[in-house]
Amino acid sequence: MNIITCVAPVNIAVIKYWGKRDEKLLLPLNDSISATLSVQQMHAKTTVMASPGFKEDKLWLNGKEETVHNQRLQNCLQEIRRRAKQNEDDKVNGVSNWYAHICSENNFPTAAGLASSAAGYACLVYALAQLYNVTGDISGIARQGSGSACRSLYGGFVRWHQGSACDGSDSIATQLAPHSHWPEMRILVLVVSDKRKKVSSSSGMQNSVKTSELLKYRVSHCVPKRTEAIIKAIISKDFDTFADITMKDSNQFHAVCLDTFPPNVYMNDTSHAIVNLIHAYNSASGKTKVAYTFDAGPNACLYLLEHEVPKLVSVICQIFPPENEGVQYLQGIPVEKQAVSQEFIASIGMEPQQRGLLKYLIHTEVGPGPQILSEPHHHLLTEAGLPK
């Protein structure tokens, strides 16, 4: 019996991946760059177990059994086993021939629309690689589960290279800098209340590739320059430039979504109110202190430096008051309360919004990549290979 349990992080892109050049291999039209968030606050956790006694592959996601006959999952399983076989002495009875039971859960609500597939596939592939003794780069395998998952295999600041090979072999992620490089960097995730059913990233980007002229312009003219510039900003810890590019790239990505026909509307009125607040906050501060970025949903991810967190959180709590005072509005790394002058609030020039537009805030930081949890109590499967 072989059993492995791992956790893998969420990543938030600052140069967005949007559009594929190959739907089957999940090859992107452009490079993208992200920061990997700490697994302390948000992670996917997966236990994989292989046994000669198992009759078939099985999968449980967040407590529910799901089919394994899903093309993306199969892509990952088949590729891992193919690579495992290459390294194995016993190609007939070796572990690569054993079926696997997979049990996975997120410690954050998937309903919150946070990047759960990236952490999920990164965790699955990382755990399977341990189980089947696969070494070398595995980001290209996670990519075949969900494109953005390849970036969650590394900690710190990560680049996913679009690559040019037809078989996708050079479309992999590499680390630009470890999380220790810019230890002051913080992330605030603002979970926005929303009831709309969202268009998935996969079908949304497929339609953008078909219909958006702006996407072509973005890919050929904007992303290459921005990628080089933001890498320099990350390496030299130039927050101003980092923030500027992050916001512009998020705005352009959503402009592409609106240029898609019919349009993909991911941001809502609360998202736009957050954008207004951040610009007003930066101009009242006389400097770019905070950057926003939005994925394919209404939630905001804010990048800022540690020393700015107490002030920003205090402003957010005044402008976006919680539904009721009792709720745990701020989750994650604790924040010291800071009184903000009425003068500063006045210079922001924004009235407090109605209560409850935000569900809660998660305060987190940049962190390392996936990790193995070696103590048996972490396993999500029993010795018989069933969910605990």
Residues forming the site for ligand DP6 (CB under 6 A): 13, 16-17, 26, 32, 115, 117-118, 146-148, 201-202, 295-296
CB of 9 to ligand DP6, least distance (A): 13
Judge contact between 36 and 367, C-beta under 8 A. Answer: yes
Residue 8's SS3 state is strand
Structure tokens at 240: 């101003």
Indicate the residue among 59 and 335 with the shorter CB distance to ligand DP6.
Answer: 59
Indicate the residue among 233 and 319 with the shorter CB distance to ligand DP6.
Answer: 233
CB of 118 to ligand DP6, least distance (A): 6
CB of 171 to ligand DP6, least distance (A): 11
Indicate the residue among 296 and 309 with the shorter CB distance to ligand DP6.
Answer: 296
Provide DSSP, 130-160.
Answer: HHTT--S--HHHHTTT-GGGGGGGS-SEEEE
Indicate the residue among 80 and 131 with the shorter CB distance to ligand DP6.
Answer: 80
Provide DSSP, 298-348.
Answer: S-EEEEEEGGGHHHHHHHHHHHS--SSTTS--EEES--------HHHHHHH
Structure tokens at 238: 């130039």
CB of 302 to ligand DP6, least distance (A): 16
CB of 368 to ligand DP6, least distance (A): 19
Residue nearest to ligand DP6 (CB): 147
Indicate the residue among 110 and 202 with the shorter CB distance to ligand DP6.
Answer: 202
Indicate the residue among 131 and 296 with the shorter CB distance to ligand DP6.
Answer: 296
CB of 30 to ligand DP6, least distance (A): 10
CA-to-CA distance for 241 and 201, rounded, in angstroms?
27
Indicate the residue among 5 and 34 with the shorter CB distance to ligand DP6.
Answer: 34
Judge contact between 143 and 24, C-beta under 8 A. Answer: no
CB of 19 to ligand DP6, least distance (A): 10
Structure tokens at 127: 């755990």
Q: Please, how many CA atoms are within 13 Å of residue 18, restricted to the half-sphere of its CB? A: 34
The sign of the torsion formed by the CA atoms of 170, 12, 105, 153 equals positive
